[in-house]
Every structure is written in structure tokens, then in C-alpha cells.
């Protein structure tokens, strides 16, 4: 309990330090957010060994991360269309855009049943975070050159789980964060859409809009406020062939960009 008391004292001190300047505020808020990650990882490592690699471990603990981050950062997330997450009983590909590290908090706000994240294998070795993700049943894929057959075999296993276990797999189609903070999405990668086509599973797009006045890493902005997000209707892939994946990818990106523009106008 001693470390919790110390963390509480540090939190209070950082809160008052954050009023000194925007640079100090940014550093303090990032430190607090990192502490939320750390607490979540520790809780995962205590809880998950009782239910090792259970696909609902994150569903159980995601609300803890969201509410802890909300209280520490003063950020509220308004989510629309969450009914689409459970409107389809089978497996699907959850497809959110990727703006910043705050996306994790946003996804935690709406995390569905039987869902995992597909992430690069190097993250598995990140202390605490990687260990917690492994225990929670998330999947790690190799991106090294020459590992294509290994990746294909792994992806085939995940595809079977989507069909048989009705697994929901979260794939960030941009592949990385858009560090330009220009309100535009990076070109979508096709990996998640190939998975959807191969499984004949729908794609569920999720659009996250973080106002620049709330967070802008380039300009050291990190304030309290409201993040808006919207879950769009599932996009069917039934009957689609491999040659249709490019059109599917482009149409989903167009729809998501239009929604992002709409959310920014309403902010």
C-alpha cells in the first residue's frame, strides 16, 4: 500500500506543478497517463494468472483504465454508435484510427466482449505493458523481413479463431500514429481488411477525434476536455474476393475520414 500512497502524493504534486507552464503541464500529464498504464499493467499481472490468456480479461479491466485516466487527466469521452459493437454476434475486425497515445483510453471506453488487439511482436518485451498484454490474450505478430510464412501461419490461426470463437480483433489500419496532427488519416494498410475478407467477417470502423486544443504533441498541448468518438455501422464482407480488398480498404477510409471531419466540426 506504501507505493499507492507515494503515487497519490506524486499525483497531487504534479497537479499543482502543471499550472507553471504548458511544457511542464504536458510533461506532468504524460507522467500521470503513464502511471495509469503502469497501474493497469500491475492489476493485469495480478488478475490474469487466474484466467490466463482469457479473451475477456481486457473487457473486465478496461473500465478501470478508462475511469482512472479520466480522473487523472480530466478528460471525458463521448461515444456514439456503441450499439454497433454488439449488434453482430460473430467475430469482426474492429478498425479505429490512430491519432495519439490517448487512443488507448478511447478504445478502453468502448471495449467489446471477446476482443483482442493485434500488435507488433516487439511490444511483448516492453516491461509491464507487454507482459500484461500477453497475459490478457492479445496477439503479437512478427514484422521482420523473411518471416512471411510464419506470419501467414499465425494469421491463419487467428482467422480460425475469429470464425470459431467469434473473436473480435482490433487492428489499427493506419499502422502507426499520425504525428502531423493535421486532422487527416494516414493511408490505410490492407492487413486487417484481408483478414475480414478471408473470414467473411464485417469491419466495424471506429473514429476518434481529439481536438488540438486538448492534445497536440507537436506543440506541447495536453489539457482537460472532451474527446468525441463514433462507432460506425459494420461493413459487410460477405461475398467479397481478394481482389475486392483494395476497394473495401479505400471505401472504409473514405467513410472514416468523412466522419472525422464531421466530428471536428461539431467539437
Each residue's pLDDT tens digit, 193-202: 999 999 999 9
pLDDT of residue 147: 53
Report how far residue 121's alpha carbon sits from residue 142's, in angstroms, rounded to the nearest whole number: 5
pLDDT of residue 224: 94
Q: Please give the span between the terminal C-alpha atoms of the chain, in angstroms, as a whole number.
A: 41
Report how far residue 170's alpha carbon sits from residue 260's, in angstroms, rounded to the nearest whole number: 19
pLDDT digits 0-9 by tens, 204-250: 999 999 999 999 988 999 999 999 999 999 999 999 999 999 999 99
pLDDT digits 0-9 by tens, 148-171: 677 778 888 899 999 999 999 999
pLDDT digits 0-9 by tens, 48-86: 889 988 889 999 999 999 999 999 899 999 999 999 998
Give the pLDDT band (50/70/90) at residue 3.
low
pLDDT of residue 2: 66
Q: Which one is predicted more confidently, 85 or 177?
A: 85
pLDDT of residue 11: 66
- What cell does 184 get? 487527416
Report how far residue 72's alpha carbon sits from residue 166's, in angstroms, rounded to the nearest whole number: 35
pLDDT digits 0-9 by tens, 100-137: 899 999 999 999 999 999 888 888 888 888 888 888 88
- Looking up cell 476536455, which residue turns up? 225
Q: Residue 1: is its pLDDT beyond 70?
A: no
pLDDT of residue 87: 85
Q: Residue 146: is its pLDDT beyond 60?
A: no
- What cell does 144 get? 521482420
pLDDT of residue 135: 87
Amino acid at each position: 500500500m506504501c507505493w499507492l500512497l507515494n503515487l497519490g502524493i506524486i499525483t497531487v504534486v504534479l497537479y499543482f506543478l502543471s499550472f507553471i507552464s504548458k511544457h511542464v503541464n504536458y510533461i506532468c500529464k504524460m507522467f500521470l497517463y503513464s502511471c495509469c498504464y503502469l497501474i493497469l499493467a500491475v492489476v493485469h499481472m495480478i488478475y490474469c494468472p487466474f484466467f490466463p490468456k482469457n479473451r475477456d480479461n481486457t473487457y473486465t479491466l478496461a473500465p478501470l483504465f478508462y475511469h482512472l485516466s479520466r480522473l487523472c487527466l480530466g478528460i471525458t469521452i463521448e461515444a456514439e454508435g456503441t450499439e454497433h459493437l454488439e449488434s453482430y454476434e460473430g467475430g469482426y475486425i474492429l478498425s479505429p484510427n490512430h491519432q495519439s497515445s490517448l487512443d488507448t483510453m478511447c478504445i478502453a471506453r468502448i471495449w467489446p466482449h471477446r476482443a483482442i488487439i493485434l500488435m507488433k511482436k516487439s511490444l511483448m518485451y516492453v516491461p509491464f505493458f507487454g507482459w500484461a498484454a500477453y497475459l490478457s490474450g492479445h496477439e503479437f505478430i512478427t514484422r521482420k523481413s523473411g518471416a512471411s510464412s510464419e506470419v501467414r501461419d499465425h494469421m491463419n490461426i487467428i482467422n480460425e479463431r475469429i470464425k470459431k470463437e467469434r473473436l473480435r480483433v482490433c487492428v489499427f489500419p493506419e499502422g502507426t500514429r499520425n504525428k502531423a496532427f493535421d486532422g487527416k488519416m494516414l493511408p490505410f494498410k490492407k492487413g486487417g481488411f484481408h483478414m475480414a475478407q478471408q473470414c467473411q467477417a464485417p469491419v466495424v470502423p471506429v473514429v476518434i477525434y481529439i481536438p488540438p486544443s486538448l492534445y497536440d504533441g507537436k506543440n506541447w498541448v495536453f489539457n482537460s476536455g472532451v474527446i468525441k468518438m463514433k462507432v460506425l455501422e459494420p461493413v459487410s464482407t460477405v461475398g467479397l474476393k481478394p481482389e475486392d480488398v483494395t476497394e473495401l480498404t479505400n471505401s472504409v477510409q473514405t467513410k472514416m475520414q468523412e466522419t472525422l471531419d464531421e466530428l471536428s466540426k461539431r467539437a
